[in-house]
Amino acid sequence: MRTAILMALLTGILMAIGDYFGGMQGMTMMLIFSCAMNFFAYWNSDKMVLAQYNAQEVDKKSAPELYGLVEKLAQRAGLPMPKLYIIPSNVPNAFATGRNPEHAAVAVNSALVDLCTREEVAGVLAHELSHIKHRDILISTVAACMAGAISTIAQWGMILGGGRDENGNARSPIGGILIMLIAPLAAGIIQMAVSRSREYEADRSGGEISGNPDALADALLKIESFAKRRVMAHASNATAHMFIINPFSGVNMRSLFSTHPATAERVKLLREQADEMRHKGTLRGI
């Protein structure tokens, strides 16, 4: 239901863009395009995101330790083993994608494995598996695909000449500028709405799956410290909400339009969860 609502909202934005640049004909074309885009995004958006970051699939032979860690965590979470990808990058980060738990993938940057401890990597992987378990991955992946399309179409519409009314007369360029600015912003707000609340839940569930919320908290701080100093290759605003830490963390993360909650607040909640688990004697490693 959430995915259907998201697709409807993004379709509405595309139709509004079509109406401005081509009137009724443009709106009809955008309706047809958005329906085709929705269908394509449902089946192929995960492949597009993985290809964007040059993610390479690995297995038990090529990455035995990492694969074994994901396998063990998936068993704890009661999930089928997802496909595992490594992104060549010197900035640690990770995301999950796919359309359901049976067709899911987890992608981690190579720097995450190199710079984080085993427990920290386990915490990050558990967070991503939580997104898979709670079926957040489809809506976040479709949002990435559609938001990128909206932004591109709005910008190219202005480049190719702006909008015209039903009589073929040129419309005010101010309206076109507003469309170019508002359409990607509207898509970004939708992304924010479907991602921020889910990050808290994925942190909590990830702490339970890994058995060590403190390690996940340490990983979040470490990943953010790198993200503040450099932006990973091929990162885009359309896919930023998918990562465990926004790859554009150098920008003020307290912004109203941030796709992620503040890392300090996430860490605080994880520390409290760890204290509670420690008190109950349920804190464990992997």
Q: Which residues are catalytic?
A: 128
State the residue for tokens 């109203």: 256
Neighbours of 51 (CB within 10 A): 11
Specify the amino acid at residue 150: I
State the residue for tokens 């060590």: 212
3-state secondary structure of 99: strand
Contact by Cβ (8 Å): 185, 239? no
Neighbours of 218 (CB within 10 A): 18
| Parallel, antiparallel or unpaired: strands 103-109 and 83-87 | parallel
3-state secondary structure of 95: strand
- Sheet with 94-100: list strands edge to edge: 56-58, 83-87, 103-109, 94-100
- 57 backbone dihedrals φ, ψ, rounded to 5°: -70, 140
Q: How far apart are CA 259 and CA 219, in angstroms?
A: 19
3-state secondary structure of 136: coil
